[in-house]
Amino acid sequence: MINNRTFKILILAILFNLSSLIHAQTFNIKIWPDGAPGAIAQKDFIESANSCGSLPCWKNVSSPELHVYLPDEKNATGTSVVIFPGGGYYIIAFEIEGEKIAKALNAQGIAAIVVKYRLPSDEIMKDKSIGPLQDAQEAMRIVRRNSAAWKLNPDKIGVMGFSAGGHLAASVSNRFDERLYNTKDKISARPNFSILIYPVISFQDDIGHLGSRENLIGKDPSKTKIDSYSNELLVSHNTPPTFLIHAADDTVVSPENSIRYFDKLREKNVDVELHLFQSGGHGFGLGKDGTTESSWLSLCMQWLKMHTY
């Protein structure tokens, strides 16, 4: 028999578990449970989560996932952001540009979905140049399909990308309706808004990040290939409203990427806001102490309110 004390403990445990369901939740979902399109089976290609110097990162990603962070229901706004961390299409900086960002967004009542996308490799992909974008398109569709279950507004699902992840976020913002795989439904992959933080936008010789370019489309791509992966050349009236952040002293990804994208968005009458900070360098995540770029999240939240809630 259960005595009174044990019974009370059980009741408290049940109540605690029930209350946790209405607070922030985290879980993972495979993007391609039946196998990714265009995948090549390779037993020796081993995925890892380790340290790239002092930076926690994912390497050799072949089994892409969504890491879902849902906010406390009491504060949830219904808005969600699909996050693409950077890493030059060679690694994925999942902590500084993924997990930490997700938790900061949750604190604002925004659901965050960190994408562990496939890193381009001829070893595991028939066409490495489209693998990450296939994952990005399907990530958007999965979030939209699950919007009711996750209590999200399907018309308030945006993307956020950092560095090369910014290139991927900008790519899905412009190539959302490009047919790259057989879809099981007609769910749209178009983001409702786009937030790009020190993004690689262009693959052009003068301003492009050549490491990201080589990793994604090869060492000696044609001019046609370079142009088709330079997002400033892909902007249309259907490109979603965009918020851009860059540091003027970024020596890794030229701020001209954001400036040129800003100009093209304005030409197409797409709502756009650009904040170019004096300092901060590259890869600052939520921000560094003592530099003004650390205010970008607050500015972003103000912009989001204008466009979502």
**Grouped pLDDT means (10 residues each) for the chain, 309 residues:** 49 42 78 95 84 85 96 95 97 94 96 97 95 98 97 97 98 97 94 98 96 96 97 98 97 98 98 95 85 84 87
Are the C-beta atoms of 42 and 81 separated by less than 8 Å?
no
The pLDDT assigned to 64 comes to 96
Q: Say how far apart CA 157 and CA 172 lie, in whole Å.
A: 13
Question: Looking at residue 23, what is its pLDDT?
Answer: 55
CATH of 24-307 among 3.30.365.10, 3.40.1620.10, 1.10.3720.10, 3.40.50.1820: 3.40.50.1820
CA–CA separation, 199 vs 93, rounded Å? Answer: 14
pLDDT of residue 3: 56
Sheet holding 91-92, edge to edge: 48-52, 55-59, 91-92
pLDDT of residue 7: 47
Q: What is the pLDDT of residue 44?
A: 82
pLDDT score recorded for residue 291: 66
Question: What local confidence, expressed as pLDDT, does residue 24 receive?
Answer: 66
Q: What is the pLDDT of residue 12?
A: 42
